[in-house]
Amino acid sequence: MTEPTVNEDQNPLTKPKFIISAVVVAIIVALGVILALVPRGGGTASPEPSSTSTGTSSGQATATSAASVCGLPSGDQAKPATTPADTKWELVGKIAAPTSPTQFGPGKTEANGLRSCFAHSPLGALYAASNVAVLSATGKARLVYEELAVPGPERDALLNQPEPQATSAVTAQIAGFQIRSYDPDRAVIVIAAKGSNGALVSVPVPLQWHSGDWKVVVPATGSTGGGQISDLSGYIPWSGV
């Protein structure tokens, strides 16, 4: 009796589009964006137009906003138009995270690995989004939900789900960013990452200034529109490795 043959042309698991989508999702997970931000079913996203500008500083953050929980200065409110100068990076697990404890954050690093307290500024939001991504990539997604997400039903729903086990061997490093939008209360930071296989993805990270720190906004739709990109056009290059 002959063994049945499988026609690879009819097997969706062998189709390039499926393989690419799986790689994209694996890299996004490796980047560490919490599960609510992983796009449903993979897919490809076009590079977002850069929203950075060379505008002048508008001074300090609004006086009515809560002060930083660890006393970091608000600093310059202008969105960066170039790679942040003199960025220092440190490895969290195998992934490089930006660090500036007295200027941009994280101003607090706990024994359990939690990295929190970021400046009330565009660069503070950038450092917050990057560190949230790195924390989640190193197995601390639940800690991110609990401590670094805005309270609400979407967050609660995620906390009530079992935490999945990481299965991908793909690793990723931060490669660039966009500040898509920013005001003293809300920001959307787009992180570009490069996988160990060379693939590039972008992931928007929505943030809200809440109780004196930048917190992740868990989207009701379950997706912020991340996906594969062909290159870093429109992104400001920024990496630690």
pLDDT on residue 142: 83
241: pLDDT confidence band, cut at 50, 70 and 90? confident
The per-residue pLDDT for range 149-179, each reduced to its tens digit, is 999 888 888 778 776 555 556 688 999 999 9
pLDDT on residue 230: 92
pLDDT on residue 23: 58
**Residues 210, 148 contacting (CB under 8 angstroms):** no
**Residues 206, 219 contacting (CB under 8 angstroms):** yes
pLDDT on residue 13: 36
What is the rounded average pLDDT of the residues 92-116?
Answer: 95
- Sequence-distant contacts of 112-116: CB under 8 A, at least 24 apart: 112/140, 112/143, 113/138, 113/140, 113/143, 114/140, 114/143, 114/147, 114/148, 116/69, 116/147, 116/148, 116/213
Residue 24 pLDDT greater than 80, yes or no: no
Decide: pTM greater than 0.85: no
pLDDT on residue 49: 35
**Mean pLDDT estimate for the chain:** 78
